[in-house]
Structure 1
Amino acid sequence: MATPVDAEGRAAGSWGRAHFVAIADVVDGAVAAWAVHEVAWDESHDSGTHGSHHARVVTFLREQGVQAVVVDHVGDGMQRMLGTMGIPILPATPGDAQASVLAAVAWAQT
C-alpha cells in the first residue's frame, strides 16, 4: 500500500504532488512494515510533461511493488494511469497515516 504523508506522519491530501509517500505492508489487519520515502513530486510535478511525471510515479510504484494507493485526491490522468496498472485507489481518512491505511484496507474488505 502507498499513501502520501506529511513530515509528521499524517495523511496528506494529494497524490501527484506529494512530497513524502509511505509504503505499508499490511498483514492480518496490522501494519507489519512502514517506510517513508521522500519522492518530492511536489517539486517535480511541473517540470516536464505530465507523461514524464506519470513515468516517475509508475517507476516508484513498480519498484515498491505497490498493490493499492490510499489517498483522498487523485487527478483524472493519474486515475487513468493507476487503473491501467491495475492499482486500486482506496479512500484515505484524515489524521494518522497508518490508521488511514488500516481503515482503507478494512473498507476494501467489506
Structure 2
Amino acid sequence: MIVATPVTEEGQSAHAWGRAHWVGVADVRDGDVADWTVHEVRWDESHDAGTHGSHHARVVRFLKEQGVEAVVVDHMGEGMARMLHTMGIPILAASPGDARESILAATAR
C-alpha cells in the first residue's frame, strides 16, 4: 500500500496536509516500510498563491503521480478531506513522532 504523510525536515510527523512543505511517501508491505521517499512539495508556499481549486489540483496531481492509496495526517481542511473522499483515498489518523512509525501504526489499525 502506498501511503503519504506530511513530514518535517527531520522526518517527524508534521501537522497539516494542505500546507505541508515535505510529504513522505511509503510503500508499506507486510507491516513494514519497504520504501520511503520524502518529496519537497512546498504546499505551504503555494497554498495561497492561487485558488483553492488550483491548490487541490496540485495535490491531486501529486497523489496520482505517486500512486497514493491512503493519507496519514492529524489535520486537514474540509474541502481537502472531501476531495480525498471523492478520490476514494482514506484518511488515517497520524501519531506524533517518527513519520514512518506513524504510517505503520495507522495502517495496522
State TM-score, norm by structure 2: 0.98
Matches within 5 A, 1:57-72: 57-72=59-74
Could you tell me which residue of structure 2 aligns to residue 33 of structure 1?
35
Q: How many Å apart are 1:106 and its aligned residue? A: 0.7
Take 1:9 and 1:43, find their aligned partners in 2: how far apart are those partners?
A: 19
Stretches of structure 2 that go unaligned for 5 or more consecutive residues are none
Take 1:20 and 1:3, find their aligned partners in 2: how far apart are those partners?
A: 9
Take 1:45 and 1:2, find their aligned partners in 2: how far apart are those partners?
A: 18
Take 1:7 and 1:79, find their aligned partners in 2: how far apart are those partners?
A: 24
Runs of 4+, deviation exceeding 4 Å: none
Stretches of structure 1 that go unaligned for 5 or more consecutive residues are none
Q: How many Å apart are 1:29 and its aligned residue? A: 0.1
Q: How many Å apart are 1:68 and its aligned residue? A: 0.1
Q: How many Å apart are 1:8 and its aligned residue? A: 0.1
Could you tell me which residue of structure 2 aligns to residue 103 of structure 1?
105
Aligned CA RMSD, in angstroms, stands at: 0.3
Take 2:107 and 2:90, find their aligned partners in 1: how far apart are those partners?
A: 11
Take 2:84 and 2:107, find their aligned partners in 1: how far apart are those partners?
A: 17
SS in 2 for 1:98: helix
